[in-house]
Structure 1
Amino acid sequence: MSLINNIQKGSFWINVLKVGTPFLIIVAVFSLFFKTGGAIFSGDFETVYNVHFANKQWIRFWLSKIVITLIYSIYIVNKKTK
């Protein structure tokens, strides 16, 4: 089926949520460890906060992950929906 037809179904969005939630968690954790893994392992959470979340940087951090997750989830669910 086409993406337009799938988007109109309620079950499509439930499946997007089911696929997207674990993917969002994995992407967020990977991003945190990739950029500030040393600070996380040493227990320096102030550095993690300053790099990712201080001064409204949390908006860019989460918004980018949510957009990536949404695109990925819609693609995967649309591909798997018959």
Structure 2
Amino acid sequence: MTFLEKIKQPLFWSNFAKVAIPFFVIVTVVSLLMASFSDLFSADFAKVIETNFADGKWKNFFGFKVVFSAAYGLYMTNKKMV
């Protein structure tokens, strides 16, 4: 079955969500830990927000992760579906 045939099936998108959403959450948490480990554990959330999300930084922070998670989800779902 080709990729275009697979994406027309509702099961494909259900499996895609099962892969992409947890992957997005994990990548986001790991990224926050790597970028602001000391600020997170000292509970300085204002500093975490300033470092990662203020002044439009949230677009870059989440944009890459959404695209990467979607690509990974499409790849894995396509690979695993028969």
What TM-score do you get using the length of structure 2 for normalisation? 0.94
One-letter identity of the residue aligned with 1:68: F
Q: Structure 1: which 4+ aligned runs deviate by more than 4 Å?
A: none
**1:41 alignment counterpart:** 41
What TM-score do you get using the length of structure 1 for normalisation? 0.94
Shift in Å at residue 5 of structure 1?
A: 1.3
- Cα deviation code 1:48-73 (max 9, x no counterpart): 10111101111111111110100000
**1:80 alignment counterpart:** 80
| 1: CA distance, partners of 2:42 / 2:6 | 46
SS of the counterpart of 1:8? coil
One-letter identity of the residue aligned with 2:23: F
How many residue pairs get aligned? The number is 82
**1:23 alignment counterpart:** 23
- What runs of 5+ residues in structure 1 fail to find an aligned partner? none
**1:64 alignment counterpart:** 64
| 2: CA distance, partners of 1:3 / 1:60 | 29
Once superposed, what is the RMSD of the aligned Cα atoms?
Answer: 0.9
Shift in Å at residue 42 of structure 1?
A: 0.9
Shift in Å at residue 15 of structure 1?
A: 0.8
| 1: CA distance, partners of 2:54 / 2:24 | 21
